[in-house]
Amino acid sequence: MREVRDNGRVAGEYGDFQELVDEVSALLGAPATLEDRDFRLIAFGVHDSDDDAAMDPVRTRSILTRRSTAEVRAWFERFGIARATGPVRIPAAPSAGVFRGRLCLPVRHGGVVYGYVWLLDEAEHTQGQLSAAMAVAARIGARLAAAARAGSAAGLALRALLTAASRAARDEAEDALRAALGEDAGEPHALVCVRGAEPGRAADGAAGAGAGPRTGAGPRTGAGARTGAGAARGPAPAEPEAPELPGLRALPGAAAIAYVPAGAAGGSRAGGPGSAARPEPVACLVRLRSLQLLAPAQSAALRLLESLAPAVAGVGEGREDLGALPEAWREALDAARAAEAQPGLGPVARWADLGAYRLLTALPAGAPPDPAVAPLLSPDHRELARTAEVYLDHAGQAARTAAALAIHRQTLYYRLSRIEQLTGLDLADGQSRLLLHMALKASRL
């Protein structure tokens, strides 16, 4: 099997690590793979052997899906790799999907593990070779630590910019974000919003549902952590703890990532204060090649959903000016709210594609439903409300509506008459239909 994938770079974002991974491969005579501490792929050494036996399912899956399975991770961690300061040999475990032994080189800096370099453990290596490879791993650790520090600074500045309550605070945060981004500050960016589901409710259309929620009792970590300058903004919510944010290296193109309260000054026009039970939305700033090409932002959103599921995501329009990011955040948050309300828009919804929801998400938070439509929205009439929405979604075409609902057309006519009785609206009148349709959509928000 011959692996050729951008010369071992993942999505073109990890070239600064590629030479170091190739150096380890040359020192130990085997293709190496670099993963972060959450077992997400960063870079891999190109394998040009024609021998299919030189590959195994774990390495192949890591390269193709950019992450390892929970079973593989659990097996590797049994051998203390998170605490190890030198090479660790790990035997095969077919029951966990590990069919060949591994050599793990912990990637550490300042006493903290930032990742792992993996090789198939088949060749004998001298102590000199292993020492040289560990020296390269230490250089990788220093770079990952520097990237983490830069990501933390950018994340804190992004959070400050999106929550600024005054022009002075916004200008200060914008300057801090510009400094943290460096040369990338002048590039076009888009904002991604990932909105977690309320407890007990899986967000419809969420991607990566199999990953499960990443919650825990520990403090927040990552760029969105409330540490340093961010700690002065107020105490973290008591419960529940927000899920740990994935590192920037796991998100191609990501420049900053942070938790942002939904009811902050730069928050949604209709979001209001976030529920104490719902995790704070996650903001991810993504570099773009051009304002029109939002593919990097959509890719980052999908990767975030893998870690933060159950959730939905929204993407705002691209911006060239960092000062315009608060408006981009409102778009992204509104798009995420719309994706949760209308699963067909998700799991990643673009603000430009929301249609009528672009207007509905701008409605005041907690606004009561129109008095005419309110009776239809009671729990006792849930089926009638669904019938009305499907009927209006199908432009009032009875045959298509009956087919979509899997009911007889006469049953549909009966339900429509009941809807008219409850609401006092004439479904033959265009204005009445528009009112009913928008009220039903707004009720989802």
The confidence score (pLDDT) of residue 250 equals 64
Give the other-Cβ count within 10 Å of 100's Cβ: 19
Longest dimension (CA), the chain: 86
CA distance 239 to 199: 12
The confidence score (pLDDT) of residue 350 equals 94
Does residue 168 share a domain with residue 316?
Answer: yes
The confidence score (pLDDT) of residue 221 equals 33
From 125, 157, 173, give the residue that closes a domain. 125
Please report, for the domain that includes residue 414, its CATH number: 1.10.10.2840
Does residue 201 share a domain with residue 340?
Answer: yes
- The closest of 410, 440, 403 to 423, measured between CA atoms, is 440
The confidence score (pLDDT) of residue 134 equals 96
**Looking at the 3D structure of the chain, how many domains does it have?**
3
The confidence score (pLDDT) of residue 157 equals 92
Residue 98 inside a domain? The answer is yes
Q: What would the mean pLDDT of 352-363 be, rounded to a whole number?
A: 86
List, in order, residues 6 or more apart from 129 with CB less than 8 Å away.
27, 28
The confidence score (pLDDT) of residue 231 equals 34
Whether 359 has a pLDDT exceeding 80, the answer reads yes
Does residue 283 share a domain with residue 152?
Answer: yes
pLDDT, tens digit, for every residue of 365-405? 677 888 888 889 888 999 999 999 899 989 999 999 999 99
The confidence score (pLDDT) of residue 58 equals 57
- The residue that leads in pLDDT, 51 or 314, is 314
- The residue that leads in pLDDT, 301 or 239, is 301
The confidence score (pLDDT) of residue 214 equals 34
User: What is the layout of strands, in order, in the sheet containing 41-44?
Assistant: 41-44, 33-36, 112-120, 102-109, 88-90
User: Three-state SS for 50?
Assistant: coil
Does residue 100 share a domain with residue 155?
Answer: no
The confidence score (pLDDT) of residue 224 equals 38
CA distance 11 to 181: 20
Residue 284 inside a domain? The answer is yes
Q: What would the mean pLDDT of 333-345 be, rounded to a whole number?
A: 88
The confidence score (pLDDT) of residue 27 equals 93
Residue 133 inside a domain? The answer is no
The confidence score (pLDDT) of residue 160 equals 93
- The residue that leads in pLDDT, 137 or 439, is 137
Whether 204 has a pLDDT exceeding 50, the answer reads no
From 125, 158, 186, give the residue that closes a domain. 125
The confidence score (pLDDT) of residue 219 equals 31
- The closest of 261, 277, 276 to 329, measured between CA atoms, is 261
Map 240-300 to HEC letters: CCCCCCCCHHHCCCEEEEEECCCCCCCCCCCCCCCCCCCCCCEEEEEECCCCCCCHHHHHH
When the pLDDT of each residue in the chain is averaged and rounded to a whole number, the result is: 78
Whether 7 has a pLDDT exceeding 80, the answer reads no
Out of 39-53, 208-222, 242-256, 413-427, least confident range: 208-222
Residue 344 inside a domain? The answer is yes
Nearest-5° angle of CA 185, CA 189, CA 190? 150
pLDDT, tens digit, for every residue of 61-105? 554 445 567 788 888 899 999 999 999 999 988 877 778 888 999
Does residue 355 share a domain with residue 440?
Answer: no
Residue 135 inside a domain? The answer is no
Q: Beta-strand (E) ranges in 136-253?
A: 189-196
CA distance 92 to 103: 11
- The residue that leads in pLDDT, 233 or 92, is 92
CA distance 378 to 398: 24
Placement of tokens 């007990």 in the chain: 200
Residue-number span of the structural domain to which 342 is assigned: 147-360
The confidence score (pLDDT) of residue 22 equals 92
pLDDT, tens digit, for every residue of 141-166? 998 887 777 678 888 899 999 999 99
Half-sphere exposure of 412 (CA within 13 A, CB side): 21
Whether 5 has a pLDDT exceeding 70, the answer reads no
Does residue 180 share a domain with residue 235?
Answer: yes
User: Three-state SS for 55?
Assistant: coil
CA distance 358 to 31: 49
List, in order, residues 6 or more apart from 158 with CB less than 8 Å away.
173, 177, 256, 257, 258, 260, 283, 285, 325
The confidence score (pLDDT) of residue 68 equals 65
Residue 321 inside a domain? The answer is yes
CA distance 68 to 349: 27
Whether 213 has a pLDDT exceeding 70, the answer reads no
Please report, for the domain that includes residue 57, its CATH number: 3.30.450.40
Does residue 339 share a domain with residue 191?
Answer: yes
245: left (phi over 0), alpha (psi -120 to 50) or beta: beta
Task: Give the pLDDT band of residue 273 (cuts 50, 70, 90).
Answer: very low
